A and B are shown apart, each in its own frame.
Chain A
Amino acid sequence: MSDSFELPWQHSFPPFFTLQPHAETRARQISVWRTLILDYFRSTKACSLDIREASRHLLFSNTSINRKLNAEFILAILSDLQRTQNAAPIDKQRYRWEIYWHTLEEWGSIIYDYITSRGATNSVLTLFELTQGDDVQDEEFCGLETDVLIKALRTLEAQGKCELMLSDDQEGVKFF
């Protein structure tokens, strides 16, 4: 876990790890979990999560109070994230998930705004440049996983704002 990330007080509150039957309480509980997950993934710039390994994940367990989330609960939270397009399962069993602390469309527009502000439209950039290049070190999408990046660019492509070129090793994208 990154040192910069601070867990909320709820994380040491045992009931936080039990899915609450009371509707209002549960809604609040899930929303706290949502925020927690998105904040955590934002801070670590990670995107992928496997439910089968998640109960060992530091985020979903608290050894000091000996509590951890069970898989159903994690699935419930992730399903709620999926509802708002902040997460998507990448296999049919819904074991492996991608977490988007910005939705793919938000990512798309963030990248496009960056490109237009740099006046880089009508030029071709490699995906590596876009996430690891020297110029983007200060940008939010720096270090974004390639799979997620491609999905975000696909949303731009659908709007006709860019074109992906994934034919060879030099994966690139042209913005319009």
Chain B
Amino acid sequence: MSNVDALRNQNLHLKEMYKRHRFKKKLFVIVLIPAVISLIGSAIAFGSADISFVDVYLTIFRKLIPGLNSLSMESPGHTHIIIWKLRLPRILMGLLAGIALGSTGAVMQVVLRNPLADPYMLGIASAAGFGASLAIVLGVGVFAGSYLIIGNAFLFSLISSALILALSGRKGASPESMILTGLALLFFFQAMTTMVQYFGDSEAVKAAVFWTVGDLGKSDWNKLGMTLPLVVIGEAILIWKSGELNIMNTGDASAKSLGINVQGTRILMMVVCSIMVAGVVSFTGTIGFIGLVAPHLVRMIIGADNRILVPASGLVGAVLLVLADTIARTIISPVILPVGAVTAFLGVPLFIYLIIKKKGGFA
């Protein structure tokens, strides 16, 4: 074999190797999707009232395909109600929140150039908590009726994000200035929340504190309908820009020299992440650790390629959150624990394990 042929063969080998390498990463996402779907099915079956897997899927199919109703046997009414009114909205909200928290966590870590970044780092959760406290304790809000609390929480998280962008934008929107203004606002809103709660009556304060602890129990179909477009559109934008995140990960000067509008992309990503997280926090309260742990977990398995990492972190976030919520619902059933506490119980040991075992995944 001539030298030229040998070189060409080696070249082909290199390309094949790269394509296989890329396919393996994609496979991870492809495997995750059915895993998530079957997890949802089993999560519905678990709970204080016993429902079999068959009933779960029968009930769902019957609802989706109206014609099926007349053909099959009668389903017991309370099963239908438990699945349709209680468990399914709750689990789907867990799915959406997990996707949003996992993906935004992955994006924030790259955009802020900080492996400790998570979706709440920029004070979004504490601003939402302040908005909610204002509504619960003082009854003050921009929206009336049942959306008083949620609307307030959403509005204040957006105000906090807008402030961060406006303030750090004057310093060229660098990761450092964003983190510092974010932390400053976080403490500011925490202090404001404390002030509001200090002067509130004890029942209202208790309700406000419970609101901030993440809980999926407040989910219903209306809220799902509002969260769904937010998460779907946001996720699409994050995935669309994820290739640029890879390049930004090599440093601002490098990325600019490769033709990336670094500042523009950074601001767009912050805005999209803020809106997604603000939406989720307003409906569920603060659910910690998902946004921190999911991206690190995925990086250890498939590496740092954001094109795969961003969607995969979302799916892993969803798995972790639905799992944590199932534990929260069943562990001392019929009492349902707030999932925000359970994710921390689940997340802290997992996170410490990752740090001890780390294989070059962090810095």
| A, B in one complex | no
Q: CB within 8 Å of B: which residues of A?
A: none
